[in-house]
Structure 1
Amino acid sequence: MRPGLLFAGDAEARPAHALAERVTEDLGLSAVIDAMAAGDAFLAETARSVLLAAPPSPEDVAYRQEVLADCLREPDLVRELYELAGRALQAQRTAAGAVYFDSPETLLNQSIVTLTAYVTLLRDLRALAGRYRPRVSSTGFTQFFTLADDQFDDAYLASVTNRIAELSLDGNLLVSARLGAGNQSEGFAIRRPERQSRGLFRRNTTPKATYKLPYGDEAASRALGTLRDRMLAGLAISADRSARSVLAFFTALRFDAAFYLGSLNLHQALTTRGAQICLPSVLASPPPSSPSALSSSSALSSSSALSSSSALSPSSPLSPELTARGLYDPGLQLRLDEPVATNDLNADGKSLIMVTGANRGGKSTFLRSLGLAQLMAAAGTFVAATSFTTSARSGVFTHFTTDEDDSKTSGKFDEELRRMSQIADTIGPHGLLLCNETFQSTNEREGSDLARHIIDAMTDAGVTVVFVTHLHELAQACYDQRDRLPALFLRADRDRSFRLHEAPPEPTSHGTDLWHRLHHPAAL
């Protein structure tokens, strides 16, 4: 029994790919997670899990967006759900903390305490559903409230209450059994005690054959205790199973509510800084083309891409979409009070985006903004842009420059090759690969040649590549062959506007800026 607020139908979350932690570090995802958490460790854990999970289907993304729209209109709804589910988990922890030794009887008593608390919380859930049902319209909440009414109606809750009362033995245990092989007791069955009739002619139901343990007979007490545990074992297991079933429902509800509460926190953190956000459009990926292998352990296929003017028709089945207006890096915005620079992107039918231009011109920031937007769009939450449309991707992968290996066991170039090999072994069809100054640690000719082979292999296998580089030989070679390899070329100019525009690569990265900054600072 699941709340069903994150997935339509029986779909379940799939784990993140093996390089997800590297993506988190390269894109600065922690800043977004911290904003979603607002100091709550469980919200942070949930946000990280959902943002880095394997992307769900476009249908599930749209499903989440409907639920999120309801949460935006009724923010108290998601807060009450999160708080109610948290109370259920706290009730279980409190009951478990009161148990100092393990036995069937203590397990039974723990389950009774927990189930008693759950009945109260289920009544609160039904009351909450009654208040908010007329105020929501999403399929997710409609189905969830229907589940609450159908599964936890008055008859069910009354039945559970009666069962709990029967489980409370009050120290009395009536059991039937039979003698088996070797005169061993078997076939234990716990019986309901007979109700004694009240009145003048009350029948005496005291058993005729009784045995009372002598005071101080420890061996007999232990034997009787063992017999009692055997009789209670099945009942305790059944009660524990019931408690765990309800706990699993509340645990899933808390996780689902935590994601939407985190999204509301992010919404508030960005909008209070004057930034624009939107719910993106995530479209189905195009069908795969002929398969192609990237490595001995990674077979990829299909076509995936970006562009602002496409050699392919926008309606082509092999042309995924990627367009953005007012795109910015939310991690950067969360560190500043004033709005940051934004970029527009109209990409369609391209396998490669090559970004060149001035140092400190906003290239890396653009790369992070695009990667974060793709992750946030796939998760079904808000995107840091005024509008964002993308085809579904199989995952986001990053290859950013890193520091030298402190252990001195390998050089920086070896480390770059090793990370690229890991990506090739992991990335799948419709993957998005973001490269930032890749292969800058070697000479330009060798770096350009190697990068070009990587780009060709990735794009042939259906991977979209966004490549930020100062390797002019690489950028110019791709530009000269843009008819063979459909690509979009963006450039950051020296005006430090931090905005990119479509332009061919230049044979300089404006190193004169650094020269003047060092030798003629007064002239700047």
Structure 2
Amino acid sequence: MRPGLLDGDTGPEPRPQAESVAADLGLAAVIEAMAGGDPVIAETARVVLLAMPPSAEHIAYRQQVLTDCVREPGLARELYDLAGRAVEVHENASRAVFFATPETLLNQSIGTLTAFLQLLRELRALAERYRTRVSSAGFQQFFTMVETQFGEEYVSSAAAWLGGLGPGGTLLVSARLGAGHQSEALVMRRPHRSARSLFRRAGRASGPSATYKIPYGDEAAHRALSSLQDMSLAGLADAVHRSAQHVLAFFTALRTETAFHLGSLNLRQALQERGAPVGLPDVRDAESRVLHARGLYDPGLQLRLDEPVVANDLDADGKSLIMVTGANRGGKSTFLRSLGLAQLMADAGTFVGATAFTTSARSGVFTHFTRDEDDSRTSGKFDEELRRISQVADGISPYGLLLCNESFQSTNEREGSGIARRIVDAMTDAGVTVVFVTHLHELAQGCYEDALPARFLRADRDRSFRLHEAAPEASSHGADLWSRRHGLRED
């Protein structure tokens, strides 16, 4: 049983190059805000944000659930806390077991299931309270499942069975003699109402009976009886344990799925407290190839500042390439991170840092950012760049989004531009959307002159951190370095 509040597996497959993507985009700041100090929410947010993205239909499903959570903020918190209590019950019961025997496993599972039944009653009451206050298909299906699967008849019947299995109950086991007069084919039987002892010969309640009393101090007899008891309880203990694990899996999945929605609410509140706009994106089918934004900003940067950060607009519908050029420290890398984070968050079905954001469902987000020189590497920086782009090529697929930040700057202009152009052409021909921040003027100018289906953006030297549509111009990289080196004022 799965709650279905994420409309998918709660242990999804991670996307290729997930760790590189998280590091390049500064995802840690977003996850920290989502977690609000809760490690379970932090881990859940990381897993879901870096998972292979679902379809546009599934993203809309998650957004509808999240919309209900915004409307009823107490719902996600109550579900998360209730599921957390269930997991805590299991963890406490597991810590209390020092010797794993069928008897201890049986008693642990009985205690755990008994506590679970009470929590299921609370869950059913919660469902009854919120049923008419939500409208999403996810919550409606979840509440229906709770009411049908965990009705009072089921809970009461399960409680009665557990009561009969506990220390105050009676267990009846049948067996036959096998080779060497050893017991075999042990089967648990429904006990007679008048039964009083642990082991009793199957037959009529009023039939003959026999008892055997172990003499005091007969250790061999006690060991034999203990072994017989373990054999008798093994099957029952395993069955009750599997039942407890089944219910635990349901509560664990419920905690995971509500953790992500609760984290989304935490992120929304953190950004709104800083005066930043937050909204749910419009995610369309992959074939639509749309990509435009208003007021797009980097939420990771915004979370580190108290004043609103600079935002940018983007119109790139139908474009397979976005080329960004211009001055150093002009906001190009920040724009790249803002776009990558927006796509990651949109794919996960949560809020994005923008006034409005419309995009296609992607097969994944990939990054190729310049890295600092590592003295421990046995190969050069250029070789390392080629190795990483090869790994990206192995994992990316049509409808993917590739973000390149100053790639192939470690070689000369002509060689770097030539390699980058071949990669851009191969990726865009394969249906990948490429966003390329670069100082390689030969690359940018060549793409512009060839009239590719591209959008060209430029950051000016006024440090406004706003990008505007403009043709590439000769790189100011060298001039910027010279000015910083000699302390010259920029005009």
How many correspondences in the alignment?
483
**Cα distance in 2 for residues equivalent to 1:510 and 1:218:** 87
Change (3 A) 1:208 1:380: closer
Alpha-carbon distance in structure 2 between the residues aligned to 1:261 and 1:208? 61
Query: C-alpha separation between the residues in 2 aligned to 1:466 and 1:255?
Result: 33
Kept after mapping to 2: 8 A contact 1:13/1:56 = no
**Residues 329 and 384 in structure 1, CA contact (< 8 A), matched pair in contact too:** yes
Q: Report the secondary structure of 1:282's partner residue.
A: strand
Counterpart position of 2:113: 115
2:6 corresponds to which residue?
6
Query: Which residue in 2 is equivalent to 1:403?
Result: 372
Instruction: Name the TM-score, length of structure 1 as normaliser.
Output: 0.89
What is the match of residue 345 of structure 2? 376
Q: For 1:193-272, what aligned pairs fall within 5 Å after superposition?
A: 193-196=191-194, 208-272=209-273
Equivalent residue, structure 2, for 1:23: 21
Structure 2 SS opposite 1:348: coil
Aligned counterparts of 1:405 and 1:215: Cα–Cα separation in 2: 75
Q: 2:377 & 2:156 partners in 1: Cα distance?
A: 69
* Residue of structure 2 in register with 1:491 after alignment: 458
Contact kept, 8 Å, 1:494 with 1:510, in 2: the verdict is no
Unaligned runs of 5+ in 2: 196-203
Question: How far, CA to CA, are the matches of 1:501 and 1:109 in structure 2?
Answer: 69
Partner of 1:480: 449
Question: Does the 8 Å CA contact 2:164/2:170 hold for their aligned counterparts?
Answer: no
How many angstroms apart in 2 are the aligned matches of 1:171 and 1:35? 51
Once the two structures are superposed, the pairs formed by residues 390-429 of structure 1 within 5 Å of their partners are 390-429=359-398
Paired with 2:343 and 2:250, the residues of 1 have a C-alpha distance of 30
**Which of 345-354 and 506-515 deviates more?**
506-515
Q: 2:316 aligns to what SS in structure 1?
A: strand
> Does the CA-based 8 Å contact 2:440-2:475 persist in structure 1?
no
Give the fraction of aligned pairs with identical amino acids, expressed as a percent. 69
Deviation at 1:390, TM superposition (A): 0.6
Q: CA deviation at 1:519?
A: 3.5
CA distance in structure 2 between the aligned counterparts of 1:143 and 1:204, rounded to whole angstroms: 48
Residue pair 2:31, 2:45 contacting (<8 A) in 1 also? yes
Q: 1:11-38 CA deviation, whole Å, 9 max, x = no partner?
A: 6764112311000000001110000011
How far the C-alpha of 1:191 sits from its partner, in A, is 3.5
Q: Say what the alpha-carbon RMSD is for the aligned residues.
A: 1.9
Q: Tell me which residue corresponds to 2:198.
A: none
Measure the CA separation in 2 of the matches of 1:413 and 1:121.
58
Q: 1:23 to 1:115 in 2, by over 3 A?
A: same
Alignment match, 2:71? 73
Partner AA of 1:45 in structure 2: E
Residue 142 of structure 1 is aligned with which of 117, 140, 143?
140
Q: Offset of 1:346 from its aligned partner?
A: 1.1
Ranges in structure 1 where 5+ consecutive residues have no aligned partner: 198-202, 287-318
Give, in whole Å, the separation in 2 of the partners of 1:2 and 1:92.
Answer: 18
> Hey, what does 1:462 align to over in structure 2?
431
**How far is 1:54 from its partner?**
0.3
2:100 matches 1:99 = no
**1:441-472 deviation digits (Å, cap 9, x = unpaired):** 00101111111111111111111110000011
Query: Secondary structure in 2 aligned to 1:338?
Result: coil
Offset at residue 107 of structure 1 (A): 0.6
Residue 199 of structure 2 corresponds to which residue in structure 1? none
Amino acid at match of 1:281: D
TM-score normalised to structure 2 length: 0.95
Q: Are 2:19 and 1:35 equivalent residues in the alignment?
A: no
Match of residue 174 from structure 1: 172
CA spacing shift, 1:419–1:520, aligned 2, 3 Å: closer
Q: Distance in 1 between matches of 2:96 and 2:208?
A: 35
Which SS does the other structure have where 1:335 is aligned? Answer: coil
Q: In the TM superposition, what is the alpha-carbon distance from 1:207 to its structure 2 partner?
A: 5.9
The residue number in structure 2 matching 1:183 is 181
In structure 1, the residue matched to 2:409 is 440
Per-residue deviation, 1:192? 4.2
CA contact 1:342–1:499 (8 Å) conserved in 2: yes
- Shift in alpha-carbon separation, 1:185–1:517, aligned structure 2, 3 A: closer
Match of 2:468 in 1: 501
Give how far 1:514 is off: 4.7
Which residue is equivalent to 1:295? none
Alpha-carbon offset, residue 208 of structure 1: 4.3
Letter in 1 for 2:446: A
Looking at structure 1, the residues matched to 393 and 194 of structure 2 have their Cα atoms a distance apart, in angstroms, of 77
